[in-house]
Chains A and B, each alone.
Chain A
Amino acid sequence: MLLIHCPYCEADLPELEFRHAGEAHVARPSNLADITDEQFEAFFFIRENRKGVVFERWRHLHGCGRFFNAARHSVSDKFIRTYKAGEPKPQLSEREIAAATPIGRGTPANEPIRLTGEGDGQ
């Protein structure tokens, strides 16, 4: 079970209090009726689903009830940081990312680990 820091309650709390709410920073178009099918698909269905650092929404459902965002590593499941809704996507330092990156998990099923969208991770 994950331990999640709610940026509003300012406390580390068990995952059971929270609901995952999907990829963060997906902007809902304000002109939904006018956009093309391709644009709607990209907004509504297409997801990054990255192996590495992901930005995602959480809701502190059984607590303050508020939505917030988190940066997490999707292989180690370690949170890099959580931040309030509406704040811009944070620039993460190499050190922060390295601290969340799993080490010594060299089984074929787990390698390689992609840190960013660039390159092939080798």
Chain B
Amino acid sequence: MQKFSALSLLREALRGHKGWGRQWDAPEPRTEYDVIIVGAGGHGLATAYYLAKEHGVTNVAVLEKGWLGGGNTGRNTTIIRSNYLYDESAGIYDHAVKLWEGLSREINYNVMYSPRGVMMLAHNVHDVQVFKRHIHANRLNGVDNEWLTPEQAKEFCPPLNISRSARYPVVGAALQRRGGTARHDAVAWGYARAASDRGVHIIQNCEVTGIDRGPDGAVSGVQTTRGPIRAKKIAVVVAGHTSVLMEMAGVRMPLESYPLQALVSEPVKPCFPCVVMSNTVHAYISQSDKGELVIGAGTDQYTSYSQTGGLHILTHTLDAICEMFPMFTRMKMLRTWGGIVDVTPDRSPILAKTPVKGLYVNCGWGTGGFKATPGSGHVFAHTIARDEPHAINAGFTLERFRTGRLIDEAAAAAVAH
């Protein structure tokens, strides 16, 4: 692997950047691997990387039906935070934030992690109570989160309208300073490059069409559009299509898939210093390094695999954005798109073994999986390599919907998150 450094950049600059090779290999699939990971999004690639790095499992294939990072990894609004209510959630999301902090250096790839602060707005008494409860719970879990008055919120984010005459006045905010954003494509590319360097095969345009099981019920391999591939361990990391993939192995999931939309504005000069979210009026916004405002909308109300959503969902979000940030009322929106997110009943993910021997699943991240990418890959690799969960993901089982031990962030946040 070519190492990126100031020196290598300078050297390439002097010879017209002709020396940069492939960043990851494109091998032909072998007939058998130790582990097959289905889905080359951020979570799948991170899992492959940590399998190779932390557990020495390098005979790994990551199969991707489309192109690497072309699903929800390339469609999200790149927000990173860990201010979740419950201990299990704080554990896994803060594990991810800690990994984000050193990730660019670790994989020698600039993922542009920018801890610019995530500010969540409170608009009513209920919000204030819920956010303060979150702040106290976060503090007990060692997760930074602090309460701001409207004036402090405006100082932190000057474009914010804190007028009392706003339709939904800002009455306070919770700020996580370690929260922020990262470059989503770079996360997929960086993990792909680092995993490939350790011998992992990344095979694109290779769709899994069936999961084979042996006479003992354990998985034995997959059928793909590029032929059958054998493996004793198969990990499904396919976000919105998890129900479809798991059905191939005869496992029915507590999931529903919804379209989630986002949009970006025309690029403008730096004008927005942080990430602002409002659950109550449902809008979140940040500014990318290219200068576009990156705006997240809500899910459609119906289940779908259409990868598109209703226009009224976008206009609803933009109404809220314009109300909170009047300076954006004349901004032109450039692009909108949709992705399919898999939502669990308690709005917490599933990273676990399944009833089928050798089959593992990492799913249910719903509307907010990007932020967890490094932590998710790290503990999921442990789960696959050791055939038992890491302490951090021990609660995120598939069985919790049978036992009732839910991690009910749905009730805690009162919205999808």
Which A residues form the contact surface with B (CB < 8 A)? 1-2, 15-16, 19-20, 22, 37-38, 40-42, 44-51, 54, 56, 72, 74-77, 107-112, 114, 117, 120-122
Contact = CB atoms under 8 A, between A and B. Distances in A.
Given A49-B256, A77-B306, A108-B205, A1 B311 contact: yes
Contacts of A112: 207, 209
Interface string B232-271: 0000000001011001100011111100000000000000
Nearest to A120: B209
Contacts, number: 95
16 contacts: A2-B302, A15-B301, A15-B310, A20-B301, A41-B402, A44-B401, A46-B252, A47-B243, A47-B256, A49-B255, A49-B256, A51-B241, A51-B243, A76-B306, A107-B66, A108-B205
Interface residues of B, number: 37
Closest 4 CB pairs of A and B: A108-B66, A49-B243, A45-B254, A45-B401
Interface in B319-373: 342, 345
Given A41-B254, A46-B401, 7 more contacts: A1-B310, A46-B252, A47-B255, A56-B303, A77-B306, A108-B66, A117-B247
B312 interface: yes
B70 interface: yes
A16 B254 contact: no
Residue from B243, B310, B402 whose CB has the most chain A CB atoms within 10 Å: B402
B304 A37 contact: no
B223 interface: yes
A75 B306 contact: yes
A22 B254 CA distance: 13
A120 B401 CA distance: 28
Nearest to B209: A120
A20 B305 contact: no
Contacts of A114: 244
B310 A122 contact: no
Contacts of A40: 402
A37 B403 contact: yes
A46 B210 CA distance: 21
A111 B207 contact: yes
A45 B256 CA distance: 10
Given A2-B310, A20-B302, A76-B306, A122 B209 contact: yes
Nearest to B65: A108
A20 B259 CA distance: 14
A70 to B, nearest CB: 9
A77 B210 contact: no
Nearest to B210: A120
Contacts of B247: 117
A51 B403 contact: no
A54 B205 contact: no
A117 B207 CA distance: 18
Given A47-B243, A74-B303, A120 B71 contact: no
A47 B67 contact: no
